[in-house]
Amino acid sequence: MNQSETNLENEPRRAPPPPPPVEKTEPKENFFREILRFSIIALLIVLPVRVFIAQPFIVSGASMEPTFENGEYLIIDELSYRFEPPKRGEVVIFRYPKDPSKFFIKRIIGLPDETVELRGSKVIIHNQELPGGFTIEEPYLPTNVKREDYLTTTLRDNEYFVLGDNRGASSDSRIWGTLPAENITGRAIVRLLPITRISVFPGDATNATAL
């Protein structure tokens, strides 16, 4: 055996290095990390719903009384009108044509290509199916408020005629003209507040019959 081999055998064996210390994550760090992750997921879910599907709306004013009172909290369906047009009798929220920064709530009375005739307290609709006209029944109007209006308006293929239920206190198509379809944001789908008046499709009168 040579000298180099003898020296190797006589050298003491070195213990393996200890494993690196395990980093301990504080419970508080885990908590805040989970909160952050939950918040991001919630935003990814809520924001598209808020922007493209539904949004809140608070009624301001008396133009839709007694159907909607001042301060009531509504949820607006923004999706349905992407697939089908508004119907007569539906309550819609839209951007005011004279100032798009403001939102109004009114009821659809006249549809595209129809002629709307206001004759005293009657609303008469002339269309292709009934060119002689028919008077619509309006059970949602307050019984203690009477208003006489005389006006005839013919709508184009992208226009609607809207009125407030409280005709004596409403700024609507009688005053500022027709409503372009592109200004309509959506329809009232849920009334959340006040709790005593919670309802789905509040004020919907699409089943109202013609006289």
Question: Catalytic site residues?
Answer: 63, 106
CB 187 within 8 A of CB 90: yes
Place of tokens 């504080």: 26
Angstrom distances, CA of residue 62 to CA of 87, 103, 167, 179, 185: 23, 14, 10, 20, 20
User: What distance in Å separates the CA atoms of residue 122 and residue 139, rounded to the nearest whole number?
Assistant: 12
CB contact set of 185 (below 8 Å; sequence gap of 6+): 55, 76, 78, 92, 93, 94, 95, 103
CB 79 within 8 A of CB 53: yes
Partner residues linked to 93 by β-bridges: 105, 186
Partner residues linked to 116 by β-bridges: 125, 153
Q: Residue 56 corresponds to which tokens in the numbers above?
A: 């809140």
Q: Residue 159 corresponds to which tokens in the numbers above?
A: 């226009």
